[in-house]
Amino acid sequence: MPLNKAVFGRAMLLLTAVGFAALLGLGAGLVWLVDEARGYATGVAATQEVRVKLSQALSLLQDAETGQRGYLLTGQEQYLGPYQDATTALPKVLPLLAEQVIRDGGRPGPVQALQDLAERKLAELRETLALAEAGDREAAINRVRRGEGKEVMDSIRETLAGIESRSTTRLAERSQGLHRSSRALLLGAAGALGLVAIVAVGSAGLAFRYAGDLERARLEVEAANAGLEERVAERTALLQAANEEVQRFAYIVSHDLRAPLVNVMGFTAELEVAVAALDALLREAEAEAPHLVTDAAREAVTADIPEAIGFIRSSTERMDRLISAILRLSREGRRALAPEPVAMGALIAGIADSLRHQLAEAGAELTIEGSLPDIVTDRTALEQIFGNLIDNAVKYLDPARPGRITVTGRAARGLASFDVADNGRGIAPRDHGRIFELFRRSGAQDRPGEGIGLAHVRALARRLGGNVECDSTPGQGSVFRVTLPLAPLPSFGENTA
């Protein structure tokens, strides 16, 4: 069903809105994941700090006990140094430990129990040392032998292990949450980028379908009013204005799609920075306490999230190439053509010189057979037409045999016809027409390209008042025939693509 202007406008507006909403959702998801990663990093740091404080507290209590026993065994006061240092530091370390545990999401009860046990241990140490200083070392040693101090230390170690275990469990829960978040974002990003790609292709398809409908309408009007020059001129002017409107609309749509795409690229770069910081923190945690880092956390940071970022970046880069191609087509469609005499032999020779390196790499030869007719037309458009055709001929040569590309030309009844023939891999008959459609390609997709070149070639040829056709046999080669007027027609420069 043909598209009218109202339906086309509403469809394009809807597609643009859907694409923008998808990109906005993707950007919000990236910000959310960065925040999740930041929270996880904070949790890892808090857990590490708890472990450091726990280790410090246990070490100080052990130093105090070591100093006590050294003094009881030798009676020399120099052994009391560790005891005195520990009793000075513990009142500072234990409150900091309690504060860090609570900050990490733990309960104050176990820390309070640890403080009570530490006080009991210090009291036992003070009592035995007091007996020894009073001259009753035997009573002090007997007090130690009863095992009260050992029981308290065992309880202290058990309490410390419990605090550390709960902190490790919280870290594992945070790691699982981050893993789930990254998975969810990966699926959402893939869906959003797929939707954006569909919107971009759909918008371009609608735009060119609309242009095609306008072209068919123009031809129908000319056929119905062949004898009415005034009405034909009026309809032609209206159609030309409509075509220019389509070109402007394609430019606006492509430009507006690029703005959110740039935002996605920016968010992706920020996410890469965040992941790098997270990876460094993970490596530090593995070095200091490898049992704290789960396999799920390591996989999320080193594999899943970088893979998701790679998917996002490759998709956005492809989107950017598609949008740039649409913009180039739009700009070319609005460029004013300037006819001038063109020596076709010299023009083709210049193109061959510019492709000399590619020809040498492919082991191919380009020849101009006979003399080519000169025409009066737009030189830049001609260079783009034949540059694309010859570049494609080089690109799709068959590596199993030496490449041969020939250019021939002839003139008859006011028209010049040029053939660009090659002995490449050829094109299937069903694709002879489709290859001139936007984003359509034929055969194995083993060469770079977006399916823009031949559509651009046909659009340029038609603006010059001519056409491009293909005749090809798979495995034998292809011939692209460009037909152009020898001199500009009255409709020269009109966009009929």
In this predicted structure, what is the pLDDT of residue 327?
A: 61
d(CA 415, CA 486): 5
494 inside domain: no
| Alpha helices (runs of H) in 75-136, residue ranges in sequence order | 81-103, 108-133
d(CA 474, CA 84): 93
Residues 330 and 351 in one domain: no
**pLDDT tens-digit profile, the chain (497 residues):** 566 677 767 777 787 887 778 777 767 776 766 666 676 666 667 677 777 777 887 888 788 788 778 877 787 878 788 888 888 888 888 788 777 777 777 777 887 887 888 888 788 888 888 787 877 878 778 887 887 778 888 888 888 888 877 877 877 777 777 778 778 777 877 887 787 788 788 777 777 777 777 777 778 777 766 665 565 455 545 445 445 544 554 555 555 666 676 667 776 777 777 777 777 877 887 778 777 778 777 787 777 788 877 767 766 765 665 566 566 655 555 567 788 999 999 999 999 988 888 888 888 899 999 999 999 999 988 999 999 899 888 888 888 888 999 999 999 989 999 999 999 888 888 776 677 776 555 545 555 555 577 888 888 888 888 999 989 888 889 999 999 999 887 666 555 54
Classify residue 427 as left (phi > 0), alpha (psi -120 to 50) or beta: beta
Angle at 318 between CA 36 and CA 247, to 5 degrees: 120
Global pTM reads 0.40
d(CA 224, CA 68): 114
258 inside domain: yes
Residues 94 and 199 in one domain: yes
Residues 105 and 251 in one domain: yes
d(CA 59, CA 65): 10
Residues 442 and 400 in one domain: yes
Residues 187, 193, 198, 203: what is their CA dihedral angle, to the nearest 10 degrees? 150
Residues 130 and 166 in one domain: yes
Last residue of a domain, which of 307, 334, 361? 334
Residues 303 and 400 in one domain: no
In this predicted structure, what is the pLDDT of residue 242?
A: 40
Give 252-299 as a DSSP string.
Answer: HHHHHHHHHHHHHHHHHHHHHHHHHHHHHHHHHHHHH-GGGS-HHHHH
Residues 202 and 222 in one domain: yes
Give the contacts of 255 (CB within 8 A, at least 6 positions apart). 327
Between strands 364-368 and 403-412, the pairing is: parallel
Residues 352 and 321 in one domain: no
Report yes or no: 31 and 68 within 8 Å, Cβ to Cβ: no
5 inside domain: yes
CA distances from 25 to 191, 264, 274, 359, 380 (A): 11, 10, 20, 47, 43
Last residue of a domain, which of 302, 317, 334? 334
Residues 408 and 453 in one domain: yes
Helix (H) or strand (E) segment spanning residue 9: helix 5-74
Around Cβ 75, how many Cβ atoms within 10 Å? 11
Tokens describing residue 61: 């209590």
d(CA 337, CA 463): 9
Residue 395 sits in a domain whose CATH number is: 3.30.565.10
328 inside domain: yes
Sign of CA dihedral 391, 397, 399, 404: negative
Please choose, from the candidates 468, 365, 465, 383, the residue with its C-alpha nearest in 3D space to the C-alpha of residue 423.
Answer: 365
Tokens describing residue 444: 């194995």
d(CA 335, CA 123): 93
In this predicted structure, what is the pLDDT of residue 312?
A: 79
In this predicted structure, what is the pLDDT of residue 7?
A: 74
361 inside domain: yes
DSSP letter, residue 483: E
d(CA 458, CA 100): 71
Residues 330 and 356 in one domain: no
In this predicted structure, what is the pLDDT of residue 200?
A: 80
Report yes or no: 494 and 240 within 8 Å, Cβ to Cβ: yes
Last residue of a domain, which of 283, 301, 334? 334
Q: How many helices (H) and strands (E) does the chain have?
A: 12, 7
Report yes or no: 377 and 484 within 8 Å, Cβ to Cβ: yes
478 inside domain: yes
In this predicted structure, what is the pLDDT of residue 79?
A: 78
Residues 469 and 322 in one domain: no
Determine the structural domain holding residue 22 and report its residue range. Answer: 1-334
496 inside domain: no
Q: How many residues in the chain?
A: 497
The single-letter code of the amino acid at 282 is L
Domain tally, the chain: 2
d(CA 16, CA 21): 9
493 inside domain: no
Report yes or no: 94 and 118 within 8 Å, Cβ to Cβ: yes
Residues 386 and 287 in one domain: no
